[in-house]
Structure 1
Amino acid sequence: MTPDFTLLFLFIFVLTLTARLWLTLRHIRFVAAHRAAVPADFAERISLPAHQKAADYTVDRSRMAIFSTLIDAGLLLALTLGGGLAWLHDFWSGRLGELPYGLAMIFSLLAISGLIDLPLSLYRQFVIEARHGFNRMTLGLFFADLVKQTLLGIAIGAPVILAVLWLMGAMGTFWWLYVWLFWCLFNLLILFIYPTWIAPLFNKFSPLADGEMKTRIEALLVRCGFRSSGLFVMDGSKRSSHGNAYFTGFGNNKRIVFFDTLLARLTPSEVEAVLAHELGHFRKKHIVKRIIFMFAASLGLLWLLGQLINAAWFYNGLGVPAENTALGLILFFLVIPVFTFPLSPLNSYFSRRHEFEADAYAAEHADASELTRALVKLYQDNASTLTPDPLHSLFYDSHPPAAQRIARLQMATR
């Protein structure tokens, strides 16, 4: 091993792990400390039992997150300095050619990770979600989804991985640029085909029925100048009682999708306000900005990998004596989250700013008080805590805290 890089990796690893665990423990303590009383701004709208349910749900999920974090950290060490990747390399390298070897290595890691995560996923779904009244999934549906996801991952992932590995080996010094171009095109293709070809494999999508709700929504779309390929209701209730709405796809393939659980809970005017918020993301070009950011970040990461892939110290420092494109790709994406964790607040900041902008857009094109009522119902129905730890929220929350978000909407109604 290369002692200097090994020590640097271990130092950053311990620092990141400690920070993640500390933030989660802070969150648990903060939520528990505010469990006894509903925040004053919500006292007239959310009952104490509902507030306490949200606190208990948040604490349970956070405790599970601590366990998952420790499992992931242990797996990372086992695969790198513990010799796991070196063992897999020794097992596959003498049996397969270069491209099949790379595919086997990556799928082996995905299989190991999936098997480790399986009992954790079962516990989340059938213990935590069930304990708090959210689970509607059966074991049969859970494993049917798992089989579909696995087969879909193999059908799509295998040719993509082979293409990436081939480009890495065949395109010379600037392979990372060719891989980036391929990755961008692949992601745009997935965005286009997902609504029509992938999502229906897991859920049923029915056209929104005629009535007041559809009339209001169509009028909103005209006011906002938004054209879509249809309004659909998704049978989210067969898996969970959580509610949501979103639009997906791009170009002429955009769809607006409502969870049936959301429509069952909100009034037509509240649904209109929620959709106005989602349209705000489109009109403010948040989706385009996120795609551009993702592409720019992936270009930077692939360039960095291009600088490391022939560096012996990078492999040796992480416990892998061999050097090849597949191992370089695997090692890089295994360890990069350890080094990029301090950037999490930056990503969360821009996401929360987009949410505020979408709320402001909704207040201009719908009734802000209706959006406020809808959000309060969604916070209650989804058991979202009203009292997150501020520092934990800074790192992890893509949406602003409830109190800040609703305070801004109330100002818009004055």
Structure 2
Amino acid sequence: MPAVSAASLSPSFALTLAFALALVAGFLLKAWLVSRQVRHVARHRQEVPAAFAAHIPLEAHQKAADYTVAKARFGLLEMALGTAVLLGWTLLGGLDLLNQALLGWLGGGMAQQLALLAAFALVNGLIDLPATLYQTFVLEQRFGFNQMTLRLWLADLAKSTLLGALIGLPIAAAILWLMGAAGALWWFWAWALWMGFNLLLMVVYPTFIAPLFNKFQPLEDESLKARVTALMQRCGFAAKGLFVMDGSRRSAHANAYFTGFGAAKRVVFYDTLLKQLTPGEVEAVLAHELGHFHHRHILKRMAGMFALSLAGFALLGWLSAQPWFYTGLGVRPSLALLVADVPAAPNDALALLLFLLGVPVFTVFLAPLFAQLSRRHEFEADAYAMQQASGADLASALLKLYEDNASTLTPDPVYVKFHYSHPPATERLARMPTPAHP
């Protein structure tokens, strides 16, 4: 490794210190929030809140509390493991060791860079595998939500891995090529490529990718179809089709969503949702989703994603040329390439990985801002739904979904501010008409 001056050591050490402090502070903050959530939910386990006593049985309330606590405790273990793995990849030298091994085997070049990205993804996937299996076949199974067989799980894993390679490696190769060949503004062209890829994915996903994992059948209930079609016409929304997805093959959780972009938009109902809700409740849930389109929440979020990703690529463009960015995060870069026009192994894949590993550590404290914005959008969509459909049906549907999905009615208020993208039940239903007594 070439000698590094004292001046260059200072920013490297500063980055190491800042990264370590942010990593520890972020972990302690999230652990504190989880502990608050667990204590708050457990403390309110024995009694259904008065506002829900007529609609939610105590047994269902206790199941939701137990499910929430179990998920939170398991999430804390996952978070501790993730923090240790992140530290191992960076300051403890794991990524540097992997990079040096691949350099010794493949030499510098595109093949080595793609191998580094693929090997990193593979190792991370193997590390996450036990937690994923436990969550699916132990935690979700214990509370009656898992419907997936091991065979189906393995098939999903094989498909997603193959798709990740077929889609991810070419886009990664294109970005790496731009980093090395497009000059000082490579980050702008890489950003444009990434945004174009995401827009294309929104178009092709509903038609070509999603059917690889689930079956989508046209909605056959003519009465419900007429009701939903009339709602969309009132709201000025056009979709390519109404589909029912076999979500029950994997989980008992229920949902409905819009997917696609432009002319490829389609409405998808989980089969579990149609079994649980009345036609009026289904209409109200769909009206809520249409509220997001009416208020242009999707476009606003896309615009925000475009702006943030542009800033991110610009920051990456600057950091990738700074030796201290690599050394400060535990990696030995090819410094000759950074300081002179000398052929050497490129650092582009290293820069991508370090950026993806480092940025979440420093941005975790922004979570409340994004969560608050999302909750505001949900309130706006609820208000729109109550203009286009029955507010009582919307409230009734939400109560059923809270119960069937074992969502706690008593989350910790501070935890909510950091982590809830949807308002808690007490706040959300307080703005709606009282549903009919079951």
- Answer yes or no: is 1:375 the counterpart of 2:367: no
Does residue 108 of the first structure (1) align with residue 119 of the second (2)? yes
Distance in 2 between the 1:174 and 1:412 partners?
57
CA offsets per residue over residues 184-217 of structure 1, 9 Å max, x none?
A: 1000000000100000000000000133211211
Match of residue 99, structure 1, among 110, 118, 124: 110
Partners of 1:67 and 1:379 in 2: CA distance:
25
Q: Tell me what 2:19 maps to.
A: 9
Correspondent of 2:424 among 401, 406, 410: 401
CA contact (8 A) 1:363 1:412 kept: no
The answer to whether 1:334 aligns with 2:334 is no
Name the counterpart of 1:81: 91
* More displaced stretch, 356-365 vs 95-104: 95-104
Number of the residue aligned with 1:22 = 32
**Cα distance in 1 for residues equivalent to 2:117 and 2:38:** 36
Q: Write the distance in 2 (CA, Å) between the matches of 1:291 and 1:99.
A: 31
Alignment RMSD: 1.3
Residue from 262, 265, 270 that aligns with 2:273:
262
Corresponding residue SS for 1:409: coil
* Per-residue deviation, residues 112-155 of structure 1 (Å, max 9, x unmatched): 11101111011000111010010100000001000000000000
**Residue 57 (1) aligns with residue 105 (2):** no
Distance 1:120 1:318 in 2: 26
How far apart are 1:167 and its partner, in Å?
0.7
In the alignment, which of 307, 321, 324 is matched to residue 296 of structure 1? 307
SS in structure 2 at match of 1:36: coil
Deviation per CA, 1:88-129: give whole Å up to 9, x if none. 111111314421111111111111111011110110001110
Asked if the contact 1:276/1:361 (under 8 Å) is kept, the reply is yes
What secondary structure sits across from 2:432 in the alignment?
A: helix
Are 1:357 and 2:367 matched, yes or no?
no
> Which SS does the other structure have where 1:256 is aligned?
strand
Partner amino acid, structure 2, of 1:99: M
Residue pair 1:208, 1:231 contacting (<8 A) in 2 also: yes
2:258 is equivalent to residue 251 of structure 1: no
Residues 283-309 of structure 1: CA distance to partner in whole angstroms, max 9, x if unpaired? 111111111111111111111111211
One-letter amino acid of the structure 2 residue matched with residue 11 of structure 1: L
SS at match of 2:254: coil
Checking the alignment, whether the CA contact within 8 Å between 2:396 and 2:435 is kept in structure 1 is no
SS in 2 for 1:385: coil
Residue in 2 that maps onto 1:388: 411
Pairing partner for 2:209 from 182, 195, 198: 198
Normalising by structure 2, what TM-score? 0.93
Please tell me whether the aligned partners of residues 279 and 358 of structure 1 are also in contact (alpha carbons under 8 angstroms): yes
- 1:408 match: secondary structure: coil
Q: Quick one: percent identity of the two aligned structures?
A: 54
Matched, 1:314 2:337: no
Shift of 1:410: 2.7
After TM superposition, give the deviation of residue 337 of structure 1 in Å.
Answer: 0.4
Q: Aligned partner of 2:103: which letter? A: S
TM alignment of 1:208-247, pairs within 5 A:
208-247=219-258
Match of 1:44 in 2: 54
Counterpart selection for 1:277 from 272, 284, 288: 288
Cα offset, 1:62, TM superposition? 0.5
- Partner of 1:226, secondary structure, is coil
Shift of 1:172: 1.0
- The answer (yes or no) to whether the contact 2:395–2:435 under 8 Å persists in 1 is no
1:154 matched to 2:165: yes
Aligned-partner Cα distance in 1 for 2:425–2:124: 34
Conserved in 1, the CA contact under 8 Å of 2:395 and 2:434?
no
- Unmatched 5+ residue regions in structure 2? 1-8, 335-346
Q: Which amino acid aligns with 2:282?
A: V
Alpha-carbon contact 1:243-1:262 (below 8 Å) kept: yes
Structure 1 residues not aligned, in runs of 5+: none
**Equivalent-residue separation in structure 2 for 1:276 and 1:402 (angstroms):** 18
Instruction: Verify: 1:286 aligned to 2:309, yes or no.
Output: no
Q: CA deviation at 1:411?
A: 8.7
Would you say the 8 A contact 1:93–1:101 is kept in 2?
yes
Whether 1:325 aligns to 2:348 is yes
Are 2:393 and 2:435, in contact at CA under 8 Å, matched by a contact in 1? no
Amino acid in structure 2 at the alignment position of 1:20: K
Q: Distance in 1 between matches of 2:294 and 2:39?
A: 39
* SS of alignment partner, residue 217 of structure 2: strand
Query: C-alpha distance in 1, partners of 2:59/2:223?
Result: 33
Is residue 170 of structure 1 aligned with residue 154 of structure 2? no
Q: How many Å separate the matches in 1 of 2:306 and 2:197?
A: 11
Quote how far apart the aligned CAs of 1:58 are.
0.4
User: Radius of gyration: which is bigger?
Assistant: 2
CA distance, structure 2, for counterparts of residue 180 and residue 393 of structure 1: 33
Q: TM-score, normalised by structure 1?
A: 0.98
